[in-house]
A and B are shown apart, each in its own frame.
Chain A
Amino acid sequence: MATNVQFALSDSSGCEGVTVVTISGELTSASIDEITAFFSSIVEDHPPYIIAEMSNVSSFSSSALGSFMGSRQRFVEREGDLVFAGLTLDLKSKLSLLGAHKIFQVFPDVRSALVAYTYEKKGHSQMVTLSFPSQLRYVPSIRQMISRIALQKGYSSRDAFRIETIVDEVCNNAVEHGAQSSEHNIDLSVGIDSKKIEIKVINLSNPEKIEALKELASTVSSEAVSDMANKRGRGLALIKMLSNDLTIDISNGGTSVHVVRRKGD
């Protein structure tokens, strides 16, 4: 039986590996065969990451959803996925009630789905850079912002807390040991992808504190961190323990601290 559901292949904005399908009409039990037939027709010769644009879908039955699940499995087997974009609030709510949100990723629009694809599947890093005056009072909001970004990017709350701590300690060290100059800010850059976060802080060195900082850095790299409780350098010790890689470059011109933390470690 013919239904009013329609499928159309759309432009994937040049994103390699992605197929965008615009679907409109009513997805009911009567459209199961059409859904299966359409996805069967593209599974062999189209990129296997399918973004189903659904803003013109007016209804979505549980049986039609079952047909999407079956089709999705075929794309997953080809290292792809089938995700939804543009669902109305009603349909999104219905999918949640059916538990489908645990299976299908749902995005507000195609662009968001494409961004998620390039971030998660292609491993592209997203970068945040900012520059702030060398004063402690700026640090809390910065560390909390980076922590929230990590959460939004799929990092666990525990990971986000550790990232918050690393950013806090690196920035505090830059303020404490760097030059207090109104002309030279502290530069923070954070690169985040689905597997790791890289944090880099660069500040102008304070000539009077360079030797003390070098000593701290060498203490942290040579001693067991658990011995740091009663000593200076607890901040660097924390960074060392919470990160997978820590590089400190101290010179007369400036100090650069580079930290890598892998997701979930």
Chain B
Amino acid sequence: MESQIELEIEEIKGYSTARLVKFVGDLDATNVEFVLEKVVNLQNEGFVNIVADFKKLRYVNSTGLGVLLHFNKAAKEKSGSFKIANVNENVYEIIEIIGATSLLEIYDDLTEAIDSLAV
């Protein structure tokens, strides 16, 4: 059975080019295509600033991490940003091991991530 992941997409008040994307479940090789399509579509529609809330993201593997790096790169190419907030310690460890903490914008909480859009 494939892993379950849901993406809940919300507006961010005051930021017309931004969207909040809440990740719920496990991000792995069985569902990266689904996540890739959803977020890339948002970026292509002009929402170049994505704030990803990982509060309910339980698990990520190397394939999932690859997709996150792709979102980050695509955002930069569009002069936007890909920000991550509320990362649990297990997921953070995976990001850290691969050396991606310096490549991704990671914030302790959602408020901090959203406030950084103004900078």
Instruction: Determine the distance from Cα of A161 to Cα of B57 in the docked complex, in whole angstroms.
Output: 13
Question: Across the interface, do B100 and A229 meet the contact criterion of CB distance under 8 Å?
Answer: yes
Q: Which of A137, A141, A165 contacts B94 (CB 8 A)?
A: A165
Instruction: Determine the distance from Cα of A164 to Cα of B61 in the docked complex, in whole angstroms.
Output: 10
Instruction: Determine the distance from Cα of A168 to Cα of B30 in the docked complex, in whole angstroms.
Output: 11
Chain-A contact segment, one of B16-24, B62-70, B74-82, B106-114: B62-70
Question: Across the interface, do A226 and B98 meet the contact criterion of CB distance under 8 Å?
Answer: yes
Instruction: Determine the distance from Cα of A29 to Cα of B79 in the docked complex, in whole angstroms.
Output: 77
The reply to whether the CB of B90 lies closer than 8 angstroms to some CB of chain A is: yes
Q: Which of A139, A226, A227, A234 contacts B65 (CB 8 A)?
A: A234
Interface string of B87-101 (1 = CB under 8 A from A): 001100110011110
Q: Evaluate whether A136 and B29 lie within 8 angstroms (CB atoms) in the complex, with A234-B66, A235-B63 already known.
A: yes
Chain B residues touching A, range: 20 to 34
Q: How far is the CB of A217 from chain B (nearest CB, A)?
A: 15
| Residues in chain B near residue A228, CB distance under 8 A | 98-99
The reply to whether the CB of B116 lies closer than 8 angstroms to some CB of chain A is: no
Q: How far is the CB of A133 from chain B (nearest CB, A)?
A: 13
Nearest CB to that of B63 among chain A residues? Answer: A172
The reply to whether the CB of A238 lies closer than 8 angstroms to some CB of chain B is: yes
The reply to whether the CB of A230 lies closer than 8 angstroms to some CB of chain B is: yes
Chain A 219-246 residues near chain B, CB threshold 8 A: 225-230, 234-235, 237-238, 241-242
| Residues in chain B near residue A227, CB distance under 8 A | 99
Question: Across the interface, do B2 and A137 meet the contact criterion of CB distance under 8 Å?
Answer: yes
Nearest CB to that of A225 among chain B residues? Answer: B97
Question: Across the interface, do B97 and A238 meet the contact criterion of CB distance under 8 Å?
Answer: yes
Instruction: Determine the distance from Cα of A137 to Cα of B26 in the docked complex, in whole angstroms.
Output: 13
The reply to whether the CB of B119 lies closer than 8 angstroms to some CB of chain A is: no
Q: Which of A141, A158, A162 contacts B1 (CB 8 A)?
A: A141
Q: Which of A141, A161, A238 contacts B98 (CB 8 A)?
A: A238
| Residue from A136, A140, A141 having most chain B Cβ neighbours under 10 A | A140
Interface string of A47-84 (1 = CB under 8 A from B): 00000000000000000000000000000000000000
Interface string of A245-260 (1 = CB under 8 A from B): 0000000000000000
Q: Evaluate whether A234 and B30 lie within 8 angstroms (CB atoms) in the complex, with A225-B98, A226-B98 already known.
A: no
Q: 5 interchain pairs (CB within 8 A)?
A: A158-B90, A165-B94, A230-B69, A235-B63, A238-B98
A contacts, CB < 8 Å to B:
136-137, 139-141, 158, 161-162, 164-165, 168-169, 172, 225-230, 234-235, 237-238, 241-242
10 smallest A-B Cβ distances: which pairs?
A226-B99, A234-B62, A235-B62, A140-B3, A161-B90, A229-B99, A229-B100, A241-B97, A137-B2, A168-B61
